[in-house]
Amino acid sequence: MNTHNLNRYEGAARKIGRSAISTAVTLSALLFTACDFSVTNPGPMQDDALNNPAAAGPIVSGMSQVLSGALWRATYIGAEVAREYVEAGRIFTTKLPSLPGQLTRETVTDAVWQQSVRARWVAEDGIRRFREHLPEFASSPHAARALVHAGFANRLLGETFCEAVIDGGEVQPHTVYFERAEAHFTEAIAVATAAELPDVALAARAGRASVRASLGDWTGAVSDAAGIPNSFRYQARFTTTELDQYNILYWANANSPFRTFSVVGTFYEDYYLETGDPRAAWGTDPQYPNGEIATVPWLFPLKYKSRTDAINLVSGRELRLIEAEAALRQGNTVQALNTINALRTSLTSDQDGRLLEPWPASNNVETVWHYLKVERGIELWLEGRRLGDLRRWSEDGSPAQVVDVSDRVRLCFPIAQSELNTNRNLSLQHADPVSPLYRGTQGH
């Protein structure tokens, strides 16, 4: 990202804070002008105004909003690549790629990169401001939440993109994002604890567990996960204020009027019919049997039911699967399977109201790996995590390939063309990594 791009993202951050503060100023004026309902536009807010401690709350709200917008974009496109659904329409304004599943630079909108990088920058720049101007940063609730947002923004980048670029710098391994996330989460734990925000501290621990798993630090991941209950969730929030703040995983498929994707032909179609597992629920509408593409039956996911439904960033249930995977990596199939089945049998089937059946007992390592990978696919369905899982498993050669992605050029998003065009450290002919599983011949 060059200086021009940084100014653009900083302008967005300023707008977030200025808008909120200007609103507060306007409301205060109205309170002290009895019957005068005229409003004077205060004009653009100076950058220094964002250094006022009173702006900290609105700035943190802006971090949350930008992170949610980045998450739905990465999830919306990445879910198709990971075979969590298939394309059923081409009408929605944020179109799925014309070349499904390949993640070539030519077919992926730059907005995924731009919004994801913006989420990181807005959060980290807010932290910079707070360090300089917020009294008692080390025990500030605003600082604690900002650090958590920065952690999840960096994790999103690490799980989504093939490579890392920080503020117009050179290309680095994508794991750099995980390392930054780990540092933010670690500090967030300390600050949230000092601020007496136990839920925020738990979110930071849970987030750190997930990035430590991605970094291969399974001992650290298990240590972080310990004691966090299954019921715990930390989520990305959405509103109906404007389209960019909707949960697009619902809205783009809510028949209002968009029917852009379907689970037909995916694992989830047959699995839900067989088990009634509520985590994989989908439905149909007799009035609209097909998507916008008339040849694609419209089997729509029921995971999200409104424009404001939250998306999990991390949950206690995910942490149990991290513990199960850590046990598997140590060869402890019994512990891993017991952990996996404890999650399954805590849920009731939509078909008959009975508890879900456990996976069959097995001491075969590959079989239990299969259960683990399937279970993560069910538990984290449409949360923007599957592509990162498939990528790391393909890179570390873990057993039991459960999704055939050998026709996918890559399992991560390339650096956007807009970044290549403006970053002097990058070549316009930059070669993107290709999935080690790719067996196709198509140009990339």
DSSP 288-320: --B-SSTTSB--EE-S--STT--EEEEEHHHHH
Q: pLDDT tens digits, residue range 340-368?
A: 999 999 999 999 999 999 999 999 999 99
The pLDDT value given to residue 44? 67
Region label for 137, one of left (φ > 0), alpha (ψ between -120 and 50) or beta (otherwise): alpha
Region label for 255, one of left (φ > 0), alpha (ψ between -120 and 50) or beta (otherwise): left
Counting the structural domains of the chain, the total is: 1
Within 10 angstroms of residue 139's Cβ, the number of other Cβ atoms is 16
Q: Is 109 helix (H, G, I), strand (E, B) or coil?
A: coil
Looking up residue 232, the CATH number of its domain turns out to be 1.25.40.390
In a domain, residue 282? The reply is no
- φ and ψ at 277, to 5 degrees? -60, 115
Within 10 angstroms of residue 237's Cβ, the number of other Cβ atoms is 15
- Between 423 and 27, where is the model more confident? 423
Q: At CA 215, angle to CA 6 and CA 9, rounded to 5?
A: 10
Q: Is 47 helix (H, G, I), strand (E, B) or coil?
A: helix
Closest among 103, 344, 318, 324 to 211, alpha carbons compared: 318
Mean pLDDT of 144-151: 98
CB 296 within 8 A of CB 90: no
Dist CA 365 CA 396 (whole Å)? 16
The pLDDT value given to residue 32? 36
> In b/e form, how buried is each residue of 33-70, taking b as 16+ CB within 10 angstroms?
eeeeeeeeeeeebeeeebeeeebbbbbbebbbbbbbbb
Residue 300 has pLDDT above 80, yes or no: yes
33 confidence band (pLDDT: 50, 70, 90): very low
In a domain, residue 290? The reply is no
Counting every residue written for the chain, the total comes to 444
Dist CA 430 CA 72 (whole Å)? 27
With 0.75 as the threshold, say if the pTM is over it: yes
The pLDDT value given to residue 102? 80
Q: What is the dihedral of CA 149, 130, 198, 231, to 10 degrees?
A: -10
Q: Give the single-character DSSP code of 91.
A: -
In a domain, residue 352? The reply is yes
Q: pLDDT tens digits, residue range 77-115?
A: 999 999 999 999 976 656 666 666 788 887 788 999 999
Q: pLDDT tens digits, residue range 174-192?
A: 999 999 999 999 999 999 9
- φ and ψ at 219, to 5 degrees? -65, -45
48 confidence band (pLDDT: 50, 70, 90): confident
Q: Is 214 helix (H, G, I), strand (E, B) or coil?
A: helix
- Cα–Cα distance list, 24 to 19, 85, 313 (Å): 9, 43, 30
* Those residues with Cβ within 8 angstroms of residue 324's Cβ, 6 or more apart along the chain or in another chain: 335, 336, 337, 339, 340, 372, 375
261 forms beta bridges with 87
Helix extents (H) in 300-385: 316-329, 333-344, 365-379
The pLDDT value given to residue 112? 94
- Ranges assigned E (strand) in 130-268: 163-164, 172-173, 233-236, 261-262
In a domain, residue 101? The reply is yes
26 confidence band (pLDDT: 50, 70, 90): very low
In a domain, residue 354? The reply is yes
Can you say how many angstroms the Cα of residue 342 is from the centroid of all Cα atoms in its chain?
Answer: 25
Within 10 angstroms of residue 154's Cβ, the number of other Cβ atoms is 29
In a domain, residue 273? The reply is no
Dist CA 174 CA 433 (whole Å)? 11
Enclosing domain of residue 333: 3-239+316-420
Residue 338 has pLDDT above 70, yes or no: yes
Q: At CA 279, angle to CA 392 and CA 252, rounded to 5?
A: 85
Please state whether beta strands 282-283 and 163-164 pair in parallel, antiparallel, or not at all (unpaired): unpaired
Q: Is 164 helix (H, G, I), strand (E, B) or coil?
A: strand
Mean pLDDT of 294-300: 97
CB 413 within 8 A of CB 433: no
297 forms beta bridges with 290
In a domain, residue 429? The reply is no
20 confidence band (pLDDT: 50, 70, 90): very low
Within 10 angstroms of residue 251's Cβ, the number of other Cβ atoms is 21
Dist CA 214 CA 175 (whole Å)? 8
Q: How much is the mean pLDDT over the chain?
A: 89
In a domain, residue 155? The reply is yes
